Amino acid sequence: MSQTDFDAKDFRRALSQFPTGVTVITALDAEGNPVGVTASSFNSVSMDPTLVLWSIDKGAHSLSTFENAEHFAVNVLNRDQVSTSNNFASRGEDKFANADYSAGLGGAPILDDYAAQFECKTWAVYEGGDHLILVGEVMNYRYNDGAEPLVFARGSYAVSAQHPEMVKSSATNENKACEGDFVGDYLLYLLRETYQRFSADLYPKLKNECDVTPEEWRILARMINCPAIKMSELAGMVMQPNVALRETADWMADKGLVEYQDTDTLKITSKGADVGAKMQALALAEEANLLGQLSGDQSEQLKASLKSLMEKLG
């Protein structure tokens, strides 16, 4: 029995402030069929012996497979594997139908694509409330250090980026002994720094003045021009898995910003439209303030150039 009386939605939201990676954990069931689930609860435990852990919801279909499996494999996903994460977070269907994989230790499927892989022998299974905690001894591992890992934070998929404070602006670098400035003149650096500094200013203002979080802002910004939208379509646009999007949508419904037209369609309310308009005005004012540093022609040219670069990149 719980001693606390937390609001479950609020508690989950607090926990989601802790970013994690995303894994697909696999094993073979008693009939020898491959089984896999998306899990962000993976963590390292011990160096000697080499132990890792993760936890599985007692309501998961695959609970008994993992509880009884002698081996399991942890596939740490890379940034290009959002659809793999969504596939293994779904229930029921044959999750391996579209997956490229081979058999690893004890037959546990190892995916062809990965950021890292840990092939484990089940070491212990512990009770953990409504989850079971599975500890594995790592018998084999491999990693792809050219791959950027997929990140999950605040219910959204993300990629890791260097913290802007770690990359001091070359423009302010006082070490004049260095000739030239490769980094400070490099396109990726310029784009990332501009984005980081702009968003670092914008998001706190959106929270203070419109009371919206970055996740709510992404949803409302899409709904300004599209007042009713299918959840499955929105999930891809805002980079949230279906279950996390539903939590954000429930939260926004409690605030009166959106409502469910039916179980799969979200509709903006008049309050949501008002907040959306205020949010859009604030974002445009911030953009105008930034672009005010440039002439009108330069601003238009900048956006046109970025659009054609995006088109080229696909």
Ligand X SMILES: Cc1cc2nc3c(=O)[nH]c(=O)nc-3n(C[C@H](O)[C@H](O)[C@H](O)COP(=O)(O)O)c2cc1C
List contacts with ligand X (CB under 6 A). 22, 37-41, 54-57, 60-62, 85, 89-91, 152, 241
- Where do we find the tokens 């950021």? 115
Q: Could you tell me the smallest distance in angstroms from the CB atom of residue 89 to ligand X?
A: 4
Contact in structure between 156 and 215 (CB atoms under 8 Å): yes
Q: Could you tell me the smallest distance in angstroms from the CB atom of residue 85 to ligand X?
A: 6
Tokens of 14: 């607090």
End-to-end CA distance of the chain: 52
User: In 3-state terms, what secondary structure has residue 70?
Assistant: coil
Select 167 or 239, whichever has its Cβ closest to ligand X: 239
Select 41 or 196, whichever has its Cβ closest to ligand X: 41
Q: Could you tell me the smallest distance in angstroms from the CB atom of residue 185 to ligand X?
A: 38
Q: Could you tell me the smallest distance in angstroms from the CB atom of residue 247 to ligand X?
A: 11
Q: Could you tell me the smallest distance in angstroms from the CB atom of residue 121 to ligand X?
A: 20
Select 44 or 173, whichever has its Cβ closest to ligand X: 44
CA 273 to chain centre: 26
Tokens of 81: 């594997």
Select 54 or 114, whichever has its Cβ closest to ligand X: 54
CA distance 197 to 6: 36
CA distance 280 to 262: 27
Select 90 or 295, whichever has its Cβ closest to ligand X: 90
